[in-house]
């Protein structure tokens, strides 16, 4: 069977940044270490006044098409995953295609376009749709363009404000891909939850602490479901585990739970038993409370072991690199985690030896659903990852003062109409220009 998977990636960050420990924390009267050590965040990305989900998505997509030398008629499908859409009918993919058609000869007239919604997990679902479309033989040799784009803003003063971010990840899904091959095995954990939602409102209603519990529960169920198909996941068979990263501290917790799960009944549990005992089994306890207390003690001890710390440092920590400096990109977040992992592999000088290695990818969306699958690294991965210009983009972000941040938040609040000067100068990119006669958003390409 021909491999199908991700052939190319481009990342586009919002062009502004907010320094969380040095600019945000002092204004909130909080210890900067709550951000750097607790949540694990340094800076968050924001869109300039002329950027939005369409410009970021279109700019990422243009970089991708240019780099791969693709013409519009070589794309048979454009799916946008977002939870920041401003239109309940016309999908963001049509706005993005319209932008791209301003600069290319030809058009996307015969491409199937759509929009995927399920909070942050929809980026992965859009990749699944592309995979299925190719596997079903409906692509006529053409590639699918999947774009995950979001402006993740919370109400001012909401605890989630610390975890904001904005950016887009464009991915090309093809046969014989250069970066990773996808597989047919997937595990799901899905329940009707009210932890984070936006019922006809731009900013989410969030039960932050509960959302963390729901994330962990659905991820555990997805992992169990995945293992029911492929058998137990063994720690040493996974090179990296990129998870959805609302903030790195969340993944730090998830990583510990995952390690406890995948080492149960293994020789690793036996080895660790000499220093921290065996994992508590519920049947050995008289009450649920006693069992949970024992689990909590075991987890604290596990976290301190060299064995766990080495696994975490190799498998999880490298996936958090981009998230730490851009915040939560919702639908794009897990795809940033994958890119961070691959960037780490390239920095470590891995090349052919990395081909065939496995990534265990954990996606999550509030509401709530987790999905786990594995991906296999393909020859060509390194060239694709080294082509990313995200370091240059990050280095050139405009650093906002707190007052400027409050203005930018208002500019992107759909209920407000404020006039704020742009902070950066558009340069070879799509920009938001205003509203058309039917209240549609309008865009131009600035040379």
Q: Which helix (H) or strand (E) holds 364?
A: strand 358-365
Give the nearer residue to ligand HMG in terms of CB position, either 5 or 160: 160
Tell whether residue 256 is a contact of ligand HMG (CB under 6 A): no
User: Is the CB of 76 or the CB of 204 nearer to ligand HMG?
Assistant: 204
SS3 at position 389: coil
What are the Cα distances from residue 274, in Å, to 269, 277, 279? 9, 6, 12
Contact call for residue 126 and ligand HMG (CB under 6 A): no
Strands in 43-46's sheet, in edge-to-edge order, are 43-46, 16-19, 398-399
**What residues are annotated to the active site?**
83, 120, 244
Nearest residue to 60 (alpha-carbon basis) of 146, 140, 123, 126:
146
284-288-293-299 Cα dihedral, nearest 10 degrees? 70
371 in Cβ contact with 170 (< 8 Å): no
Contacts of residue 282, defined as CB under 8 A and 6 or more positions apart, other chains included, come to 288, 291
| Both structure tokens of 418 | 């404020």
Q: Which is nearer to ligand HMG, 162 or 385 (CB)?
A: 162
- Cβ closest to ligand HMG, residue 131 vs residue 154: 154
One residue of 95, 240, 329, 330 binding ligand HMG per CB under 6 A: 330
* Residue 135 tokens, joined: 């596997």
Q: Are 329 and 336 in contact (CB under 8 A)?
A: yes
Cross-strand pairs, 161: none
Of 154-162, 278-286, 305-313, 399-407: span binding ligand HMG (CB under 6 A): 154-162
167 makes contact with ligand HMG (CB under 6 A): no
Nearer to ligand HMG, 72 or 204 (CB): 204
162 near ligand HMG, judged by CB under 6 A:
yes
Nearer Cβ to ligand HMG (50/154): 154
CA-based radius of gyration for the chain: 22
| Residue 328: both structure tokens together | 């939560």
Site for ligand HMG in 28-47 (CB under 6 A): 31, 33-34, 37-39
Residue 117 as a binder of ligand HMG (CB under 6 A): the answer is: no
Report how far residue 79's alpha carbon sits from residue 146's, in angstroms, rounded to the nearest whole number: 5
Shortest CB 252 distance to ligand HMG, Å: 7
Which stretch in 60-68, 170-178, 338-346, 364-372 sits in contact with ligand HMG by CB under 6 A?
364-372
Tell me the site size for ligand HMG, rule CB under 6 A. Answer: 30
185-224 binders of ligand HMG (CB under 6 A): 196, 206, 208-209, 211-212, 215
Contact 402, 161 (CB under 8 A): no
Quick check: 358 binds ligand HMG (CB under 6 A)?
Answer: no
Find the binder of ligand HMG among 64, 127, 168, 250 (CB under 6 A): 250
> Which residues here bind ligand HMG, judged by CB under 6 A?
31, 33-34, 37-39, 83, 119-120, 159-160, 162-163, 196, 206, 208-209, 211-212, 215, 244, 246-247, 249-250, 328, 330, 364-366
């Amino acid at each position: 069977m021909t491999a199908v998977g991700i052939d190319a990636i481009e990342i586009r960050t919002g062009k502004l940044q907010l320094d969380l420990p040095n600019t945000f924390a002092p204004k909130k009267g909080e210890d900067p270490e709550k951000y750097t050590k607790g949540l694990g965040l340094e800076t968050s990305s924001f869109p300039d006044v002329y950027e939005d989900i369409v410009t970021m998505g279109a700019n990422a997509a243009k970089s991708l098409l240019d780099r791969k030398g693709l013409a519009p008629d070589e794309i048979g499908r454009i799916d946008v995953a977002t939870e920041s859409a401003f239109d309940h009918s016309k999908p963001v993919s049509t706005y993005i295609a319209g932008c791209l058609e301003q600069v290319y000869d030809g058009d996307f007239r015969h491409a199937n376009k759509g929009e995927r919604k399920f909070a942050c997990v929809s980026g992965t679902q859009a990749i699944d749709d592309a995979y299925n479309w190719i596997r079903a033989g409906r692509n006529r040799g053409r590639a699918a363009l999947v774009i995950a784009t979001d402006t993740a803003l919370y109400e001012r003063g909401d605890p989630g404000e610390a975890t904001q971010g904005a950016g887009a990840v464009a991915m090309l899904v093809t046969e014989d891909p250069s970066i990773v091959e996808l597989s047919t095995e997937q595990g799901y954990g899905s329940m009707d939850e009210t932890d984070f939602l936006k019922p006809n409102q731009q900013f989410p209603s969030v039960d932050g602490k509960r959302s963390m519990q729901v994330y962990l529960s659905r991820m555990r169920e997805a992992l169990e479901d995945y293992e029911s198909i492929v058998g137990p996941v063994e720690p040493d068979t996974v090179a990296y585990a990129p998870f959805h990263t609302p903030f790195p501290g969340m993944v730090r917790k998830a990583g510990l739970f995952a390690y406890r799960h995948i080492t149960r009944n293994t020789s690793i549990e036996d080895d660790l038993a000499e220093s921290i005992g065996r994992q508590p089994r519920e049947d050995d306890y008289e009450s649920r409370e006693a069992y949970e207390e024992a689990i909590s003690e075991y987890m604290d001890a596990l976290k301190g072991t060299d064995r766990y710390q080495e696994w975490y440092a190799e498998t999880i920590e490298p996936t958090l690199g981009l998230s730490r400096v851009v915040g939560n990109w919702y639908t794009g977040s897990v795809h940033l985690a994958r890119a961070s992992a691959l960037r780490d592999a390239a920095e470590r000088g891995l090349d052919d030896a990395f081909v065939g290695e496995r990534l265990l990818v954990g996606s999550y969306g509030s509401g709530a659903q987790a999905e786990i699958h594995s991906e296999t690294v393909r020859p060509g991965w390194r060239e694709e990852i080294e082509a990313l210009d995200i370091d240059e983009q990050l280095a050139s972000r405009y650093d906002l003062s707190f007052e400027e941040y409050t203005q930018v938040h208002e500019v992107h609040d759909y209920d407000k109409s404020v006039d704020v000067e742009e902070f950066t100068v558009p340069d070879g990119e799509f920009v938001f220009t205003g509203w058309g006669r039917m209240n549609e958003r309008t865009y131009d390409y600035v040379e």
